[in-house]
């Protein structure tokens, strides 16, 4: 399941993040890429710094508070974000993200790109995700994120004008299988809609029961 989530970072937080990045110095992004991704990674990223620590904390809190994100992802571990900056001529060619990550040691199930720059301020820089149905292109409003299976091949198109800032991270889910996560997400959506429209009816209870029991079957400890 690929899902776009608007305003995953509240506008006030986004403003603070952008102001911190305005004066920050960036380093070559190759330092954190796997050996094969390094061949196609051409961007810069924010090195360890008080600004990065603050941004990581803000985004971590925003993700913990975001009900739709929690419902879609069931996060067990969320890696602190990497903040990347693409200037004109920079791109990140087709690659698959590392399966195992460190600090913390985890499996990457879900990748997330949180767009920080206003899309009107740069050209190019689309995130392209490949799937069996073809390629899908994402260039979202500032503060919005796309989450997608880490198993997919993806790339960032060359930026031809302006500056593209984004925060990326990876999540290990309590539910490893993407199709199971999608079923849980659909059931949860129906469960909530039923509750909003008709309250706690017997139908609501049945859906809630199925959702809870599938979670019991599929949660990984």
164 labelled ligand-binding? yes
Nearest distance, CB of residue 173 and Ni ion, angstroms:
17
Nearest distance, CB of residue 201 and Ni ion, angstroms:
44
97 labelled ligand-binding? yes
100 strand-pairing partners: 107
Which is closer to Ni ion, CB of 97 or CB of 157?
A: 97
DSSP 121: G
Which is closer to Ni ion, CB of 144 or CB of 207?
A: 144
Half-sphere exposure of 161 (CA within 13 A, CB side): 6
Cα–Cα distance, 180 to 46 (Å, whole number): 35
Nearest distance, CB of residue 37 and Ni ion, angstroms:
7
Which is closer to Ni ion, CB of 152 or CB of 210?
A: 152
Provide the b/e sequence for 31-41 (b: ≥16 CB within 10 Å). eebeeebeeeb
Torsion angle (degrees, nearest 10) of CA 117, 118, 124, 126 = 70
Which is closer to Ni ion, CB of 97 or CB of 109?
A: 97
- Which residue number has the CB closest to Ni ion? 97
95 labelled ligand-binding? yes
Q: Which residues bind Ni ion (CB under 5 A)?
A: 97
User: What is the length of the chain?
Assistant: 221
Nearest distance, CB of residue 107 and Ni ion, angstroms:
15
Q: Are 191 and 215 in contact (CB under 8 A)?
A: no
74 labelled ligand-binding? no
Binding site per annotation, positions for 2-oxoglutarate: 164
């Amino acid at each position: 399941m690929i899902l776009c989530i608007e305003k995953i970072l509240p506008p006030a937080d986004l403003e603070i993040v952008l102001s911190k990045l305005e004066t920050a110095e960036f380093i070559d992004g190759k330092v954190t890429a796997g050996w094969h991704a390094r061949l196609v990674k051409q961007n810069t990223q924010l090195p360890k710094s008080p600004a990065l620590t603050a941004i990581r904390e803000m985004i971590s809190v925003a993700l913990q508070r975001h009900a739709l994100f929690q419902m879609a992802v069931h996060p067990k571990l969320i890696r602190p974000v990497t903040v990347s900056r693409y200037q004109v001529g920079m791109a990140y060619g087709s690659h698959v993200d590392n399966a195992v990550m460190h600090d913390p040691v985890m499996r990457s199930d879900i990748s997330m790109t949180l767009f920080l720059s206003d899309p009107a301020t740069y050209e190019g820089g689309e995130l392209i995700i490949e799937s069996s149905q073809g390629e899908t292109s994402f260039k979202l409003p500032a503060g919005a994120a796309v989450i997608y299976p880490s198993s997919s091949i993806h790339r960032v198109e060359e930026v031809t004008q302006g500056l593209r800032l984004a925060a990326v991270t990876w999540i290990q889910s309590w539910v490893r299988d993407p199709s199971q996560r999608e079923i849980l997400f659909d059931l949860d959506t129906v469960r909530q809609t039923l509750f909003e429209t008709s309250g706690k009816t017997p139908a609501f209870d049945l859906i809630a029961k199925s959702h809870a029991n599938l979670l019991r079957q599929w949660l990984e400890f």
